[in-house]
Structure 1
Amino acid sequence: MSKEAKQGAVLVMGSINTDLVARSLYLPRPGETIEGQEFAQVSGGKGANQAVAAARIGARVAMVGCIGSDDNGASRLAALEADGIDCSSVETDPSTPTGVAIVTVANNGQNTIVVVAGGNGQVTPAMVKRHEAAVKAADVVICQLETPWDSVFATLVMARRFGKVTVLNPAPATGPLPAEWLPLVDYLIPNEVEAAILSGLPVESESGAQRAAQELQRAGAQNVIVTLGAQGAFLLTETGEGIHFAAVKVNAVDTTAAGDTFIGVFAAQIAARQPVEAAVKLAQRAAAISVMRNGAQPSIPTREEVDCAQ
């Protein structure tokens, strides 16, 4: 897609990783060694995945992050730039390696992921401040939790100061967010596990998602979208309206980047001033395509692929 055809500007502050992916018949239990079927080394990181999803669906995308001065860092930067992403705000730290994720994918599509932060851990509030112009230029700003929390908070504060729409993917979630965070978030987008951790409530169904979303909204979030995998997604709007979106039925082979695809596409549609419900539906279609493919960024579809899948 040409630069002239792209609509809306998205800024992603987040992680950039190399994914080391092993496929196996099932996920190993603690202490168990099993035989792998395939291995691949691909581009990943929640931040980078979301940036790629937004770019491929049609947004102008810039990224703030940090890589190491190693081969992995050079490869990840080249891959992002090949998708048309502005990486002028991605810094290089020669003292640390580029982030790595070790991913195991079972034949049923489920996965486990161990992340070693590397350069992602070197993102600081001072770095965010250095790239203030990139935040100013965006319509929508996306953050996740694979970079230090103080840098995430600094980005949300800056985005709010400049009147930008903010999207927070609270992943990985380890407990409730600080009280001052949620009032800075226009769209909080956890999956069912993250929503349960953040709210302290069980999320096993649409009704559970609604209760968790209401609790998170009471804590300050404007709009909450809980993604529920095969059960679809639940949206609680800032007006208190709850809407359930049924899942697109597909045969999943790898769910690694499904949530990132959803978030990147959703943010791109909001940046292009599309209605929220339409943005959710397009994000669901894109995520459904991604789970039918292997890998993180290799699985993320283009706008043409999503349109053809309707």
Structure 2
Amino acid sequence: MKKIVTIGEILVEIMSTERGNGFIGPVSLVGPFPSGAPAIFIDQAARFGQSCGMVGCVGADDFGRLNLERLKQDGVDISGIAIDPEYATGSAFVRYREDGSRDFVFNIKHSAAGLTALTDAARALIEGSDHLHVMGTSLFSPKMVDCVLEGIRLIKSKGGSVSFDPNVRAEMLDLPGLRQALETIFLQCDLFLPSGRELYLFAKATTEREAIAEILKSGVRAIVIKNGSEGATYHDCATTVRQRAFDVEEVDPTGAGDCFGATFVSCWLRGMAPADALRYAVASGARAVEKQGPMEGASSLAELDSFIANASAGSRS
């Protein structure tokens, strides 16, 4: 089995129990939950039964221990995660607005997450892996960009593959050098996983069909477009596959796209047919939103098989 590695932020997430705008007054909170987009991704890959590991940094505090214990418990190789004795583990405070959008207060760049580096242990983990998954959220500083680019070089030098989920918050696009870094990573990725309009980040085309053709001509082997409640589509030079969304009751959408991506990448690396891989990925994202907390809805293969079977039975009745 091929081994996946990812590089990036490890956080705790603490969320308001009340919908509203921002944190300008006292609100009730719940958490902490283990979080961070690449951490959610790699936890889901491990839960799915994929060999995987992560490069990151946490503080020598309860928040760091919470994350490390969850990742290790679920099967993630944590040998590439450093523990800093001085800086606190990163954090994200989240509040949902009435329209479903979110307000965040992050401490990432100036937390232990910002100290992530390719230590000897991290390099050993990457060199022992076959695939690197890159998330745009992790490109929050020039140092992190350098870590990711070096990770890509190490993976590619041994014949490995790269997947890329741009997943970039709007405010990050103005960071110096970020657009160039995104384009550099895009040009080296084998599997591209944009959400909605992110499809056009690296394409001059104005229609979806033209953008897909342009991206595939650039050297990307496959594209998976996440469209939330509308499902997802897969494209390569020979195939297009569409998968509808599953009907579930949404409790917390945080982490759904990360779980989707981890499940698809795992299936893709196993050589699974695109239609089957897409079905598992959409099911994984659907199950993720049913639980409060970014990692709480991560699914095993058996759980996804049961979920899909029950959903199919419901659609026939």
Indicate the TM-score class for this superposition, using the shorter chain for normalisation.
0.7 to 0.9
Change (3 A) 1:293 1:134: same
Match of 2:6?
12
Query: For residues 132 and 234 of structure 1, what CA distance do their matches in structure 2 show?
Result: 34
Name the SS for the 2:159 alignment partner: coil
Contact 2:18 2:96 in 1 (8 A): yes
Match of 1:77?
68
Structure 1 residues 24-35: aligned runs within 5 Å: 24-25=18-19, 27-28=20-21
Query: Normalization by structure 2: what TM-score?
Result: 0.82
Change (3 A) 1:232 1:8: same
Query: For residues 163 and 177 of structure 1, what CA distance do their matches in structure 2 show?
Result: 24
Contact 2:79 2:125 in 1 (8 A): no
Contact 1:263 1:283 in 2 (8 A): yes
1:105 to 76, 79, 96: 96
Query: Normalization by structure 1: what TM-score?
Result: 0.83
Shift of residue 38, structure 1, vs aligned partner: 5.2
2:58 to 58, 67, 78: 67
Query: For residues 128 and 160 of structure 2, what CA distance do their matches in structure 1 show?
Result: 9
Contact 2:79 2:122 in 1 (8 A): no
Q: Which whole-Å deviations, capped at 9, do the CAs of 1:67-89 have from their partners, x for residues lacking one? A: 12222112211111111211111
Change (3 A) 1:217 1:120: farther
Match of 2:314?
none
Which structure is richer in relative contact order (CA contacts within 8 A, separation 6 or more)?
1
Unaligned runs of 5+ in 1: 1-6, 203-207
Contact 1:8 1:271 in 2 (8 A): yes
Match of 1:3?
none
Query: For residues 241 and 253 of structure 1, what CA distance do their matches in structure 2 show?
Result: 34
State the percentage of identical aligned residues: 22
Name the SS for the 1:180 alignment partner: helix
Contact 2:13 2:35 in 1 (8 A): yes
Q: Which whole-Å deviations, capped at 9, do the CAs of 1:164-222 have from their partners, x for residues lacking one? A: 121111122527454432232011112124334454777xxxxx544443444444433
Letter in 1 for 2:80: S
1:133 to 124, 134, 159: 124
The size of the alignment, in residue pairs, is 293
Shift of residue 94, structure 1, vs aligned partner: 2.7
Q: Determine whether 1:232 maps to 2:231.
A: yes
Shift of residue 35, structure 1, vs aligned partner: 7.8
Shift of residue 288, structure 1, vs aligned partner: 0.6
Match of 1:309?
307
Q: Determine whether 1:195 maps to 2:209.
A: no
2:252 to 254, 257, 260: 254
